[in-house]
Structures are given as C-alpha cells and as structure tokens.
Amino acid sequence: MYNFDEIIDRCHTNALNTDGFRSYIFKADDSMIFPYKDEEFIRMWVADMEFATPDVIINGIKKRLDKRILGYTRVYEDSYYQAFVNWCKRRYDWSFSKKDLVMSNGIIPALFELVDYICKDDEKVLFLTPSYAYFQYAADHSAKQAVYSDLINEEGFYRINFDDLEQKASDPKTTLLILCNPHNPSGRIWTQEELNKLAEIIQKYNLWVISDEIHCDLLRTGRKHIPLGKIMPDYERLITAMAPSKTFNMAGLMISNIIIRSETLKQIWLNRHYNFDNPLSIAAAQAAYEEGENWLIALQAYLDKNFEFVGEYLKQHLPKAKYQISEATYLGWIDLSAYFNPEEDLSMFFAHQAGVLLEGGNMFVRNSDGFIRLNLACPRSIVEEGMKRICEAVNNK
C-alpha cells in the first residue's frame, strides 16, 4: 500500500541532507572535495527520512491552499488540539489541558528559549550522555553550564546511573533537567520503573524538566512509550515537547507542540515568543494526527526489517561491532571502537573511504567515542549498499 522502496532524488531542493552536508558535518564550504561525487554518496546522517511524506499530509496542505490566503496564523481552532490530544490518548493513554499547549517552529528553538527563560545566569542544565548535541548548544547559547550524567553501556544496552544523576541533581545550582524520551542516540525507551526513579529525583530536588519526546511515535512494533507527564501528572515544573516532524517526515514544515503546565512560565513564553505559525504546517500536522496512523504502522514494520538487516550484516561482516536493535527512533547506534582509535574522525573516514555520510560519536557530546549513528529510514536498497560500503571500508583499513 505504501512504497517505502521508492528512491526520491532530493538534490537541488535546498535539502540539508543533500545540499548542506559539508557545512553541517564538516564545518566546511563547497570547496571541500571527496573521492566521491555528491550524487554518489549514500546518505545515512541527518534525522529526516528518505521516504515520501504521507499523502494524507500532502492532501491536507492542498486543502489549506485552496483557501488561497496565507496570512498571519495561529492555532485558534479547537480541531487542532482535539486531533493532537486524541492521538496522545489513543497511543499513550495520556492527555493534557488545551490551555497548556503552545506552539513552536521546532523543538530545538523551544529548547533555546526555555533554557533562557528557566535558568538564572549561574544555574546549570543537566542531561544524560551521550546526548543530542543541541541540548549542549541550548545551554551554551544562554551561557549556562552543562552537567553530564553518563549512561552505563552494557554491550550496547544503556542504563541510567541513578546514583550519579542524583548526585549531580542535588547541586542547588542545577535547576533544569533536559530528558530525551525515547533517548537519542541510543534508542532506549525508558521504562515505567526508570521514569518513576527519575520522577523521584526531579521532585526531591524541585527540578524543572523538559521532556523531549520527539521520537515517541517511532517505536519498534509492539513497544510502548510512556510520557513523563503520565508519570508526573501534577508536577507543575514539567514541559513536554512533541512534534509530528520526525514521525511523518515533515521537519521542514517547522511545527512542534510544547506543553507548559506552569502558568508563570507559559506567560513568559507568550510574552516573549514570536507567536505565529505557518498555516500550511498547522494543516499538515492536523492531517497527520487525524489520518496518518495507518502509514505509521506500515513504516514501523518496514523499519523493523531495516534494523534486523543491519544486525545480521554486522554479525557476518564486522563481528567485533556492538549493536542492539534500537527500541525506538529510526537511528542505529553502532559501537565500532574495536576497529578505530578513540580520536579518529569517523564521519570523515566513512565519507572518504566509503562514500557514506553518517554522524560519528563525536557529534553526541561525550561518552560516545568509537560510535556511529546511522539513519535507517531509507529504502532497503540504500541501507544494503550503505552497510556494504561501511563494512568494506573498515575491513580494508
């Protein structure tokens, strides 16, 4: 019914994936030369998909275009809230008040704003590492000190070091925890037991917490996501961030849902945030929540097979690699430290030696030397060719 095997040419569409990789990965300009032509690269790096955005979303945009005026817009109508809250009820058995929902043109911009709104100049931001780099950037942007709690890696399966986390949370200057749930890059879905322990620490030290749940829909088949807001139903200092962008490959439409319980923080947001939204983005997101679930179910099944393929291929061709099928996300997290020195730039190595664009562990703050992150939301033929090139390059070192 859905053709996830279709290969779509994204070149010359101003896509970051195809046209911006030099500046993003390598901090270079177009003068940077590789042994491969741009069109010869296998792209498995940035976290958007190589699959067509679902037709229900394209149709939702077309219907809005038929209105023919694209003026200043905000989410005023109840229909958007109902679409989103019904999605959360159906998938997570969780809901929230309409008054707590505000919109942002992305979770990253929201993080930058919220760190600045919440933390005083001498206060600190805590998060789990390895980490999505923009948690660090959000702290840096507001000149706040970042505090790291390293996850415990047990043969590719990650656990929270609760003793270390509590010790760092106990610092009176640590006022904000940014949680990634599910976790990027490891793909862990935090269990109810783990979330309960987190909640105890958060409440004990009266922390603010931003729960970035952007990957919450992208689970392996049969898995369940638990919003932190469900574990902490009455905790006022909790902000939940969700978006349809990863789920439905519409990141370029720049829309996300920020659920702020604190009336004080919400007023700061409303007073300082540029509070308009793209009318096409609203239409797209609402269509996704109302009509996109069948597509998502099919996507999950396809991704499951991609993750299985990568595991089998590594066993056969790079047996020293450590890899667990991610519980969530479409991102494979692979430990190649048996094959590389810790200081080696893996993004550069694979671009030059394999013609594969990927993100190395050095892009995930710390506790990630020797790892690569692979975007597996690609047609199977691309995943197969990418793995072939990766393994050949390592074995020919």
Tokens 């992305």 sit at which residue? 106
Report d(CA 332, CA 374) in Å as an integer. 5
Average pLDDT, the chain: 97
Predicted confidence (pLDDT) at residue 124 exceeds the cutoff of 90: yes
The CATH homologous superfamily of the domain defined by 16-55+292-396: Aspartate Aminotransferase, domain 1 (3.90.1150.10)
Q: How many Å is the maximal CA-CA distance in the chain?
A: 59
Express each pLDDT in 229-246 by its tens digit.
Answer: 999 999 999 999 999 999
In angstroms, the Cα distances linking 15 to 19, 54, 129, 312 are 6, 18, 29, 31
Sign of the four-CA dihedral 259, 58, 108, 377: positive
Express each pLDDT in 66-100 by its tens digit.
Answer: 999 999 999 999 999 999 999 999 999 999 999 99
Confidence of residue 389 (pLDDT cuts 50, 70, 90): very high
Q: Rounded to the nearest 5°, which phi and psi values hold at 212?
A: -80, 105
Give the least confident one: 9-23, 175-189, 375-389.
Answer: 9-23
Sign of the four-CA dihedral 197, 201, 206, 207: negative
pLDDT at residue 274, as a whole number: 87
Where along the chain do the CATH 3.90.1150.10 domains lie?
16-55+292-396
The distance of Cα 390 from the centroid of its chain, to the nearest Å, equals 23
Report d(CA 106, CA 245) in Å as an integer. 9
Confidence of residue 1 (pLDDT cuts 50, 70, 90): confident
Name every residue whose Cβ is closer than 8 Å to that of residue 224 and which is 6 or more positions away in sequence.
Answer: 92, 189
- In the chain, pLDDT over 70 holds for what percent of residues? 100
Where along the chain do the CATH 3.40.640.10 domains lie?
69-291
Express each pLDDT in 179-209 by its tens digit.
Answer: 999 999 999 999 999 999 999 999 999 999 9
- In the chain, pLDDT over 90 holds for what percent of residues? 98
pLDDT at residue 397, as a whole number: 86
Contact 121, 145 (CB under 8 A): no
Query: By C-alpha distance, which of 300, 374, 385 is closest to 334?
Result: 374
Confidence of residue 348 (pLDDT cuts 50, 70, 90): very high
Confidence of residue 113 (pLDDT cuts 50, 70, 90): very high
Report, as an integer, the average pLDDT of 272-300.
96
Predicted confidence (pLDDT) at residue 251 exceeds the cutoff of 90: yes
Q: What is the dotted CATH code of the domain comprising 69-291?
A: 3.40.640.10
Strands 174-180, 124-129: pairing is parallel
- The strands making up 322-323's β-sheet, listed across from edge to edge, are 322-323, 331-335, 371-375, 359-360
pTM for the model stands at: 0.96
Tokens 């519980």 sit at which residue? 327
Q: Where are the alpha helices (DSSP H) in the chain?
A: 16-19, 21-26, 55-65, 78-92, 107-118, 133-141, 162-169, 192-204, 228-231, 263-272, 279-291, 293-317, 346-353, 380-395
DSSP character at residue 310:
H
Predicted confidence (pLDDT) at residue 268 exceeds the cutoff of 90: yes
CA dihedral 10, 11, 12, 14 (to 10 degrees): 60
Predicted confidence (pLDDT) at residue 136 exceeds the cutoff of 90: yes
Predicted confidence (pLDDT) at residue 275 exceeds the cutoff of 90: no
